[in-house]
Copies of this chain bind each other. A is one copy, B any other.
Amino acid sequence: MSRINLIIADDHELFRNGLTELLKKHDDINVIKSVADGKAFIEELKRTKDLDIVLLDITMPNMDGFEVLKEIQTLNAAVKPIIISMHDDGNYIAKCAKSGAYGYLLKNTDEDELVKVVRIVNGGKKYFSPTIAEKMINFMSDQKVSENILSQKEKEVLGLISEGFTTKDIATKLFVSTRTIETHRANILRKLEVKNTAELIKKATQINLI
């Protein structure tokens, strides 16, 4: 039986090394390298034959996990990425799933779960735990609301409002009448269910619109 060839990419050296020690205990898993950022990983990827799995952190310098996922797709590489993140934001999870991750684990996962997922993914199957999958679903429904509730133009206007431009400024900038911008503002206020600019900006920051 051939062993599972694996690389760890995480900018936290203590975590990376600790994880290596943990995985060493499992005979069917072969940690061939660990790297501290996405760029270093991509270089390894190009150099290494028979790489099965990469355990990938999201937040890394140089090139973060999302970019690595994209690059893996671009290169059409055979490596199967498993995300190991400490964020259980549906946001992150959904983004990873869309970008081709084979699994998503939290850093508080236990060793058994980790090893289990490595084996499942190595077999070519994707694995997202029920809890993780749920977070993702919840996010996607919320997201739909906050991302799609405003039109492109409205989002643009909102952005300019948040930068301190007045209605007149914005109208000039966008080559339309102030009346148009006023209508946009009114619609934005209505859609976000707020009654004035102050509340609007607060809400918009809360739901990540600006």
User: Once the chains bind, are A196 and B15 in contact (CB under 8 Å)?
Assistant: no
Distance A86 CA – B22 CA, assembled complex (angstroms): 20
* Interface residue A48 (Cβ < 8 Å from any Cβ of B): no
Which residues of chain B are near A15, meaning CB under 8 Å? Answer: 12, 14-15, 18, 107
Which residues of chain B are near A166, meaning CB under 8 Å? Answer: 196
- Point out which of A18, A19, A20, A163 has the most chain B C-beta atoms below 10 A from its C-beta: A18
| CB contact list, A186-206 vs B, under 8 A | 194-202, 205
- In the assembly, how many copies of this chain are there? 2
Closest chain-B Cβ to A40's Cβ sits at a distance in Å of 13
- Point out which of A13, A110, A194, A205 has the most chain B C-beta atoms below 10 A from its C-beta: A13
Distance A164 CA – B196 CA, assembled complex (angstroms): 6
Closest chain-B Cβ to A140's Cβ sits at a distance in Å of 25
Which residues of chain B are near A19, meaning CB under 8 Å? Answer: 14, 18
* Interface residue A84 (Cβ < 8 Å from any Cβ of B): yes
User: Once the chains bind, are A199 and B163 in contact (CB under 8 Å)?
Assistant: yes
Q: Which residues of A contact B (CB under 8 A)?
A: 11-15, 17-22, 36, 84, 86, 106-111, 114, 161-164, 166, 194-202, 205, 210
User: Once the chains bind, are A194 and B164 in contact (CB under 8 Å)?
Assistant: yes
Which residues of chain B are near A197, meaning CB under 8 Å? Answer: 196-198, 201
User: Once the chains bind, are A164 and B199 in contact (CB under 8 Å)?
Assistant: yes
Partner of A22, one of B17, B109, B195: B17
User: Once the chains bind, are A199 and B14 in contact (CB under 8 Å)?
Assistant: no
Closest chain-B Cβ to A139's Cβ sits at a distance in Å of 20
- Point out which of A86, A110, A162, A201 has the most chain B C-beta atoms below 10 A from its C-beta: A201
Which residues of chain B are near A106, meaning CB under 8 Å? Answer: 12
Partner of A109, one of B14, B110, B162, B198: B14
Distance A11 CA – B194 CA, assembled complex (angstroms): 38
Distance A200 CA – B197 CA, assembled complex (angstroms): 10
User: Once the chains bind, are A13 and B161 in contact (CB under 8 Å)?
Assistant: no
Which residues of chain B are near A202, meaning CB under 8 Å? Answer: 162-164, 201, 205, 210
